[in-house]
Chains A and B, each alone.
Chain A
Amino acid sequence: MATLELSQVTIAGCNRQYGAKLQSGQVVIFHGGTPALRRLFLEVVGGQALPERGFVSLDDKSFADMKPEARRKLSRSQFRYMAGNDLLLEYLTAVENCLVPEPNVTGISIERTKILLRNLGISSPDLRFPNQLSPLERKLVNLARAVRLDPQVLLAYEPSLGLNDQEVSAFYTAMQNLAPTRNLLVVAVEDAAPQCLKPLDIVTFSLEGSEQPEPAEKEDLL
């Protein structure tokens, strides 16, 4: 169970303060702002950069108190990234694409990957190449690859880029179903708040304008 806390965080070039307490099983979308702000925000949340003011902590360990090497080590072991570019290798099958991060591929890891992909709704993942997948399926393979090594936090940089509203809804639904089962906290940044998320229990948070979270789970947000 991971808890990521942002306390009175101010990012360079922006005079707003951000505060939130995010926990495993949640999918949180930060939206708005410039691309540079979104990128920097994700780097601050991932411990790759430090905020101008305030602190970010994972399980009560503040990044500001860590040496850069320790912070990088923590980032490597606990965080994973995914993005709008699904980074699928066209000559590998969906399963093989998911196994790219694995240091050692075993029969068990292959079977687990197949199960994960089937649970996400991708049929015959061991036989199909990226050019045989729909745009949504490609994003889901990207998602499956990102969570293969069981990270605590998944940082997503505009992960639904290029999908239409229906596909975005399906994508975030899959993400939301996945997060609690894998004890995963998903922090995504998007250009704009996806309009199709009303029925979903996903927290959206604007990087500019109101500091307050838009939908529920106010107890987690400061």
Chain B
Amino acid sequence: MKHTIGAYITRRGGKVLLTAVFTGFAAAVVFVFGFLFAANPTTQQFLDARSQKWVEVAGRISAQQIGETVLEADVEIIPATVSYLAHPLLGGRSALLPVYGLDEKHAQSLLQYTGSTLRAERVVPGVEGVYLPAVYLDAVGISVGSEFTSSGAYQQPSRFTVEGIIESEIPFGLAAPDTIANLPIQEQVLIVYSSSLTLEELEASLLAAFQEDDNVRILGPSHYAQLNQERWREYRLLLPLVLVAGLVALAVGFRLSALEQRTQIATEQALAQLYFHSRWPSLLRPLVVAAISGVSGGLGGLLVGGGAALGLEGLWLSSQGIVSTLPWSAALAGLCLAVAPAAAVLSVWMQATKIDLFTFLGQVQQIKKAGTAAKSTHPSSPGVPPATGLRL
């Protein structure tokens, strides 16, 4: 009864491995689903990276009014016209890429401030021309020189020619002021940033000054933080659902296989009672084995899931202009599945320990397999037919 864990694992390695493989597969599926669920909000967050660089003030407001608000600060204000292109995401969704209509001087300032590199002949493109980030070109499958028609929920169809690429950590497009101003849906904004104030301070001072004004919208870090909360809401809802579904499927599957273990546990319990041994080794053995296979399967599944996610990113998502990260919450969720084998064992544990000893002793084990095996492999017991009329 002692130290049977090693013997069980080495001799029932197939079963232990199968449990680990099932757990690992489920953990990998949860991780990959989590990774895919996170791709859309991550891309949206990436497309809003400008919120880490400047505050946008939209509406009926002039640069002079803003200058009066933050008198003591060293504030730069770039007036622009902005329109948005639909950036396709997974599942037919789309995000918005801002395209600023700027004159040459302001375009130069913005490119310099964001540390962007422009791969184009001029600072500002011609009429119907546009400079776009590489991630957008990947997303819609176009290249420099291509003509394309932008359409989306927030945009009427517009025809553009890609004249250059903006290489920047902050994704945005650039066009001539007239190009954007002639679009049916566009907006006047002021791009505000400061060298002496943090963005939060700048946003707070602007909010304090214009909060009461319904014609002015302040799009700063807090606005985008709130927007991100909503974007991740779907992920936070879907991930637990996938996790619960995976956990239920695994627990049901393992319970079916654990029913076989119930007889095993009951046998060991009966032996412990008959030979006055402690009951714990026989109770702990299946639990420890399930824990080992669960944890090893869970960790293995995360490695496989991580590999699959990286493969998806490299081979598919990056070419679709989708930005993704390996979400730790999905990894943790996948790892939660490691408890499924142990939970399944615990569910039959209770039944196995409640078996009446004498009733159990009076049962004959199912040994049909033994009869056939012995007949075929051991002619040393000739004339002994297999048991008939077995009761269980």
A residues near B, CB below 8 A?
35, 39, 76, 80-81, 83-92, 96, 100-101, 121, 123, 128-138, 157-158, 161-164, 166-167, 170
Minimum CB–CB distance for A147 against chain B, Å:
12
Chain B residues in 8 Å Cβ range of A123: 378, 380
With A84-B361, A123-B380, A166-B383 known to touch, is A137 a contact of B264 (CB < 8 Å)? no
Asked if B4 CB lies within 8 Å of chain A CBs, one says yes
Q: Does chain A have a CB within 8 A of B51?
A: no
Determine how close the nearest CB of chain A comes to the CB of B173; give it in whole angstroms: 67
Q: Cβ of B367 < 8 Å from any Cβ of A? A: yes
Q: Are A132 and B370 interface neighbours, CB within 8 A?
A: yes
Contact (Cβ within 8 A) A85 B386: no
Q: How far is the CA of A137 from the CA of B382 in the complex (A)?
A: 12
Determine how close the nearest CB of chain A comes to the CB of B224; give it in whole angstroms: 59
The verdict on B195 contacting chain A, using a C-beta distance below 8 Å, is: no
Residues of B within 8 A of A (CB): 1, 4, 7-8, 11-12, 264, 267-268, 270-271, 274-277, 358, 360-365, 367, 369-371, 373-375, 377-378, 380-381, 383-391
Tell me whether A163 and B387 are in contact in the complex, defined as CB-CB below 8 angstroms, given that A89-B264, A157-B358 are known contacts. yes
In the complex, the answer to whether A136 meets B384 with C-beta atoms within 8 Å is: yes
Decide: A167 near B384, CB < 8 A? Known: A39-B358, A84-B363.
Answer: yes
Q: Can you report 18 residue pairs joining A to B where beta carbons are below 8 Å apart?
A: A35-B362, A39-B358, A87-B270, A89-B271, A91-B7, A96-B7, A123-B380, A128-B378, A132-B373, A134-B370, A134-B375, A134-B384, A135-B371, A135-B384, A135-B386, A157-B358, A161-B364, A164-B385
Closest to A132 in B: B373
Chain A at the B interface: SS class: loop
Q: Is B387 in contact with A89, judged by CB distance below 8 angstroms?
A: no
Residues of A within 8 A of B363 (CB): 84-85
**Cβ of B12 and Cβ of A91 under 8 Å apart?**
yes
Residue from B361, B369, B375, B384 within 8 A of A83 (CB atoms): B361
Residues B267 and A132 in contact, CB atoms below 8 Å apart: no
Taken together as a complex, chains A and B put the C-alpha atoms of A132 and B371 apart, in Å, by: 8
Given the known interface contacts A35-B362, A101-B275, A157-B358, the answer about A136 and B391 at a Cβ–Cβ threshold of 8 Å is no
Which residues of A have CB within 8 Å of B268? 89
B362 and A157 form a contact (CB under 8 A): yes
What residues of chain B lie closer than 8 Å to A134, measured between beta carbons?
370-371, 374-375, 378, 381, 384, 386
Q: How many whole Å from B258's CB to the nearest CB in chain A? A: 15
Residues of A within 8 A of B371 (CB): 134-135
B378–A84 contact, CB under 8 A? no
A88 touches B275 (CB 8 A): no
Given A89-B267, A123-B380, A130-B370: A157 and B387 interface contact (C-beta under 8 Å) = no
The winner among A91, A129, A130, A163 for most chain B CB atoms within 10 A is: A91
Specify which of A84, A129, A135, A157 lies most central, judged by the most chain B CB atoms within 10 Å of its CB. A135
By a CB distance below 8 angstroms, the chain B residues around A80 are 274
Q: Is the CB of B7 within 8 A of A135?
A: no
A85: which of B264, B362, B384 is its contact (CB, 8 Å)? Answer: B362
**Given A91-B12, A100-B275, A166-B385, 4 more contacts at CB 8 Å?**
A91-B11, A135-B374, A167-B387, A170-B384
Asked whether, in the complex, the Cβ of A162 is within 8 Å of the Cβ of B378, the reply is no
Question: Within the complex, what minimum Cβ distance (angstroms) separates A153 from chain B?
Answer: 14
Contacts of B390 in A (CB 8 A): 162
6 closest A-B pairs by beta carbon, nearest first, are: A83-B361, A134-B374, A162-B364, A135-B387, A101-B275, A91-B11
* A43 closest partner in B (C-beta): B358
Q: How far does the alpha carbon of A132 sit from the alpha carbon of B381 in the complex, in Å?
A: 12
